[in-house]
Structure 1
Amino acid sequence: MGDSGPAGTTVNHPIFARFYARLSRAMEHRGLAEQRRRLLAGLSGNVIEVGAGNGLNFAHYPPAVTRVLAVEPEPRLRRLAREAARTAPVPVEVTDGLAEHLPAADAAFDAAVVALVLCSLPDVPAALAELRRVLAADGQVRFLEHVRADTPGWARVQDVLDATVWPYLAGGCRTGRDSLAEIREAGFAVTDLERFLMAETRSPASFFVRGTARPAPGR
């Protein structure tokens, strides 16, 4: 779940937040829970999760993670995330904040996690620059995002939806955003990548990537 609005404001999408909370749990049973587990496998140390939504990642953090700072600007989703944090296997602190202005010190984290977030951010370059700022020099970003379709027909459908109703119905989400290209353009080197379809039947939001990126030397 992403964010919008200037620094210091609260993001409020009450209708979408209710819908997302229900839809996300249904998607867990269709394979997203396993993708979250793979996303977080092998992490350790201090982690920041940006756009934590309703906290569905929390159950999958491995025991080597010593602390998670989970940032979520939407009030209803933040309340649900705090409930999920109570039963997480690692310490999780849930806080308000925007991806473009993270409430964290420079180089404070060993890893950053974004899952279903970059699609809805109003300023992706600023958010990725913030991730670089708060990551340690040898830190990593783990990402799980739906992205632009790999076929012209579906890409055109995404463009039409993104130019009309979809962002208004889905909390600012853009189905056809090329988040992988955004990550690379922000100065990250993608060191691990898997592409997959989230659903058996293709839809505008079923084209996914999961992977790891690290700050590229000299960038």
Structure 2
Amino acid sequence: MMNRLGDLLREAASVVVFTGAGMSTESGLPDFRSQKGLWQGKDPMRLASTQAMLHHRDDFITFYRTRVEGLLACKPHRGHEILAGLEESGRICGIITQNVDGFHQRAGSKKVAQLHGTLETVHCSTCAKVYPSSRYLEQGGTACACGGFLRPSVVLFGESLPYQEVEQAQQWTDQADLFIVLGSSLAVSPANWFPQRAKEGGAKLVIVNHDPTPLDDWADLLIHGERIGEVLARIHE
């Protein structure tokens, strides 16, 4: 399978990579839907939605403070660095990510469409001033200088995906002749629409994920149960 993936990479003229939570778990961050995921035993709408921000603010703040603490304690892994190197060498034309940790950029990738925003910053709901997310951990750190409420710069349940990021992701997807999914359950719409669009447009589809996904039958190559960093390291040797 690794040889096949290496061959597909060498043969492709336009490679797009799509990453999900499984890419970040190898850095130590939790995913969302596994038995140990962030949503296990919890109601996402009470923690990470526009309604939570308005009506359950204490729960909202506690949840995102915990996530910021986790983010600051982790860093990109070798897989992120390999993708950045492939982009620098012209092998990857863009990365579409569901992740909000900013690890692709920290590893050196520049062409990244962040479909769900970023947890690296918070911004004021009133004046839109942006602060590093570490401010959330300070005493009184959820208040802007103007008095407005600081919220994470992520897409909450009940909000639309950022238009410019979606437009960029669509452009890359339509150009792709190889679309590689790394660590996504492909269970969340509309993000899971991109690999479908790529396949319908004639691209070969590779899915690397710990567990099966709803789009496995669409894939030209499936790799299950392997660590993403190790898969990328082996084809990079």
**Structure 1 or 2: more helix by fraction:** 2
TM-score by length of 1: 0.41
Higher relative contact order (CA 8 A, sep 6+): 2
Give the TM-score normalised by structure 2.
0.39
Larger proportion of strand: 1
